[in-house]
């Protein structure tokens, strides 16, 4: 442990060892945030002797939670498996599984995923006859968005009805009411409900709240800049009148307001916790100083932020390149040609390269050009494994067996030979008439009811009855699903129809996944004894996770999808007016600042080389006219990049252009000696922060008091190229 602490810089060490008051860690891009969090958890366990299960650490993706847990276990070297590191949704699920009665739920409630939610909403729209003269998918998205908003603002269907006047919103309220009744009837909850029901339970039941408050001696929140008010309220419930809280995040990377994230939550943290301390992690371990200079200068245009200057010891980088091209096709061609040169240099592989853009539609030209140039690439945002039809079908069988889910049973009926749409409607009506779910109707000992509609369910009935026996015995998931898919004839049907064998491979891959879950299953970890219920819970919580990156391919992805990732080479494409920032973001200063933060995130993904491009002159329906440079191009410091214009990529791949390095500041950059002869009392000038005086020297870091009170005293590397003696 002591050796590990010695590897931390001064601010990281302070962040790890401050545990007697609420702590806000402002973690700049690439500043070793995960290292600090995981080291702090290990420090709490190893040095402060806090039991691992008494520490709650929450983050926003299962992938991040798993990485944190793996790194803590590696640090402690003791195979600690009782770490409570999870997402907000997983934590709330654990609370509801344990205290379901206080949340007015039945024990084996089902968490529906996004696809289930869409199907339910689609059905309700049809029942209420609301889809006249409207795009049904667009209407679904609007209604789902409004329901999520109302839930996260704790607005019931009745309250929503009283506050809306717009006809579309009135329709959304009607769907909201029926949707909530449907979930209640079927013992289901959606993603928003997980957090809302825990909030309501904590707010209305002091005994339950006190149980969970006393369970945790320390609470940590990762990616705190992405929290919404509801999530922050949950944290405040757990830490009220305590000093046991650390939050970690970067206000300059708040780019998810459309999910409810509010930058002011992290900015105003010290108003909620009066005795809080703030530690800024401003030393970057990812990017070159040239990249950071451009990013620091650019984000300073935002006013609603925490001032900080990210620096690095890595000063041997190259100047950022900005390229102006005539068409979107030529933009993709020039990026493709540059990638080919990078690969020829033997310094980079394809998987060292990201191409980022603000909107998914911008990828089209890159996909076509890269295919023609035979540049291997992956497009993040394609069909995910769990979204494939055969996996959805398999999941339907599992949901029916575990929780008698009607929506899944309808899906299975659609897969059953000689059972058509009319028959299914009759089955649903009969089940409703007798107050049964569809599964109980089908497997009922008295077959006269179901036989009055169809006699084509005998085989399915037998399979489901036997599968329920396996479920009650808590059999292995692989055994259970294989039995169902083989005996029902589903697997054989797939084999007959699957010409390219992709579907059957996906089923086999699913068997592998279930087998792994069987081997790794631990009832204490999931708070659930039954394997199948635990698996369905885990799958629902994973349903919106990001795609995994594949080996040795250029990655095409949106800036929002790239958050948390990094790459040696980054191309930022489409920095155009009305594209980035988007036209819709120009209405308010807050929206514009979020777009600026998005570009800051993109800039700081690059480790070694950064390219930015925009189109000038081509007509676009996006801007209803000729494309031109984004206002953000004008906000980039002209002294910190080179500019190429009139770019043309010839048939042989040769690029011709006019190239201008606006500043010669980098000509002798690599000759810059990081051990400049600074002394205490020296007057200095900083390109961004202005004039100041050196008040202290710590190794190669200068503590400088700037004349501008807005910046105050800051710690800056003596090798920083934007700093000079006066």
Active site (catalytic) residues: 33-34, 222-223, 253, 605
3-state SS of 76-108?
A: HCCCCCCCEEEEHHHHHHHHHHHCCCCCCCCCC
**Which residues on adjacent β-strands are paired with residue 189?**
111
**187: alpha, beta or left? (left if phi > 0; alpha if psi -120 to 50):** left
Task: Give SS3 for 474.
Answer: coil
Calpha distance 393→428 (Å, rounded): 19
DSSP designation for 222:
S
Consult the annotation and say whether 34 binds a ligand: yes
Consult the annotation and say whether 381 binds a ligand: no
Q: Phi then psi for 32, rounded to 5 degrees?
A: 80, 35
Consult the annotation and say whether 27 binds a ligand: yes
Element (H, E) at 642: strand 641-649
- Give the Cβ contact number of residue 242 at 10 Å: 14
Calpha distance 563→569 (Å, rounded): 15
DSSP designation for 582:
B
Calpha distance 583→606 (Å, rounded): 26
- Give the Cβ contact number of residue 105 at 10 Å: 19
Q: Which residues contact 453 (CB under 8 A, 6 or more apart)?
A: 423, 426, 427, 430
Calpha distance 392→491 (Å, rounded): 14
- Give the Cβ contact number of residue 11 at 10 Å: 20
Element (H, E) at 26: strand 23-27
Consult the annotation and say whether 712 binds a ligand: no
Q: Which residues contact 129 (CB under 8 A, 6 or more apart)?
A: none
Consult the annotation and say whether 558 binds a ligand: no
**Which residues on adjacent β-strands are paired with residue 645?**
658
Consult the annotation and say whether 527 binds a ligand: no
Question: How many angstroms separate the Cα of 120 from the Cα of each of 112, 200, 424?
Answer: 10, 24, 16
Consult the annotation and say whether 28 binds a ligand: yes
Contact 333, 369 (CB under 8 A): yes
**Residues making up the binding site for ATP:** 27-34
Which residues participate in the annotated binding site?
27-34
């Amino acid at each position: 442990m002591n050796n590990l602490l010695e590897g931390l810089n001064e601010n990281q060490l302070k962040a790890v060892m401050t545990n007697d008051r609420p702590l806000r860690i402002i973690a700049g891009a690439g500043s070793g945030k995960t290292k600090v969090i995981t080291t702090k958890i290990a420090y709490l366990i190893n040095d402060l002797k806090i039991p691992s299960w008494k520490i709650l650490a929450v983050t926003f993706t299962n992938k991040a939670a798993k990485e944190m847990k793996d790194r803590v276990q590696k640090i402690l070297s003791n195979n600690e498996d009782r770490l409570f590191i999870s997402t907000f949704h997983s934590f709330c699920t654990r609370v509801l599984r344990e205290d379901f009665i206080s949340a007015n739920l039945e024990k084996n409630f089902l968490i529906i995923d996004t696809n289930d939610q869409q199907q339910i909403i689609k059905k309700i729209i049809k029942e209420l006859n609301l889809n006249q003269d409207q795009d049904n998918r667009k209407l679904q998205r609007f209604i789902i968005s409004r329901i999520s908003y109302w839930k996260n603002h704790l607005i019931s269907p009745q309250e929503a009805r009283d506050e809306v006047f717009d006809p579309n919103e009135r329709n959304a309220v009607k769907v909201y009411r029926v949707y909530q009744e449907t979930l209640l009837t079927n013992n289901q909850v959606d993603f928003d409900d997980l957090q809302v029901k825990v909030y309501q339970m904590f707010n209305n039941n002091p005994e339950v709240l006190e149980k969970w408050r006393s369970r945790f001696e320390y609470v940590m929140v990762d990616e705190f800049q992405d929290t919404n008010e509801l999530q922050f309220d949950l944290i405040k419930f757990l830490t009220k009148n305590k000093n046991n809280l650390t939050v970690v995040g970067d206000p300059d990377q708040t780019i998810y307001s459309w999910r409810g994230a509010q930058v002011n939550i992290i900015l105003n943290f010290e108003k909620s916790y009066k005795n809080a301390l703030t530690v800024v992690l401003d030393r970057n371990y990812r990017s070159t100083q040239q990249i950071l200079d451009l990013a620091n200068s650019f984000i300073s245009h935002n006013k609603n932020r925490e001032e900080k200057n990210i620096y690095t010891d890595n000063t041997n980088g190259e100047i950022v390149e900005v390229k102006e091209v005539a068409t979107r096709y030529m933009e993709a061609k020039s990026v493709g040609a540059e990638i080919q040169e990078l690969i020829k240099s033997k310094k980079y592989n394809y998987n060292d390269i990201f191409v980022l853009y603000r909107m998914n539609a911008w990828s089209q030209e890159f996909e076509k050009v890269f295919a023609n140039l035979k540049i291997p690439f992956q497009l993040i945002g394609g069909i995910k494994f769990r979204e494939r039809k055969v996996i959805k079908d398999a999941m339907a069988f599992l949901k029916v067996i575990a929780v008698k889910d009607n929506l899944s049973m309808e899906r299975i009926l659609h897969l059953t030979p000689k059972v058509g749409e009319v028959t299914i409607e009759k089955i649903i009506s009969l089940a409703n008439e007798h107050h049964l779910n569809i599964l109980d109707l089908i497997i009922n000992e008295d077959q006269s009811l179901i036989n009055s509609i169809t006699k084509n369910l005998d085989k399915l009935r037998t399979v489901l009855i036997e599968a329920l026996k396996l479920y009650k015995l808590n059999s292995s998931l692989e055994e259970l699903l294989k039995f169902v898919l083989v005996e029902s004839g589903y697997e054989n049907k797939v084999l007959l129809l699957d010409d390219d064998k992709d579907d059957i491979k996906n089923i086999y891959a699913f068997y592998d996944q279930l087998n792994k879950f069987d081997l790794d299953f631990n009832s204490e970890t999931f708070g659930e004894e039954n394997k199948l219920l635990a698996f369905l819970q885990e799958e629902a919580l994973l349903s919106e996770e990001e795609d995994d990156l594949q080996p040795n391919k250029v990655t095409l992805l949106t800036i929002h999808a790239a958050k948390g990732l990094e790459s040696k080479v980054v191309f930022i494409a489409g920095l155009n007016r009305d594209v980035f920032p988007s036209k819709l973001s120009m209405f308010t200063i807050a929206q514009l600042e979020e777009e600026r933060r998005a570009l800051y995130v993109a800039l700081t993904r690059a480790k070694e080389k950064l390219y930015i491009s925009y189109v000038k002159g081509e007509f676009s329906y996006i801007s209803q006219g000729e494309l031109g440079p984004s206002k953000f191009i004008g906000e980039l410091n002209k002294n910190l990049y080179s500019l190429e214009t009139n770019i043309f990529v010839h048939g042989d791949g040769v690029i011709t252009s006019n190239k201008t390095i606006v500043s010669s500041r980098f000509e002798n950059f690599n000759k810059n000696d990081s051990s400049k002869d600074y002394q205490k009392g020296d007057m200095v000038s900083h390109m961004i922060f202005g004039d100041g005086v050196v008040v202290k020297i710590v190794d190669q870091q200068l503590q400088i008091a700037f004349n501008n009170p807005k910046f105050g005293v800051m710690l800056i590397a003596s090798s920083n190229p934007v700093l000079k003696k006066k």
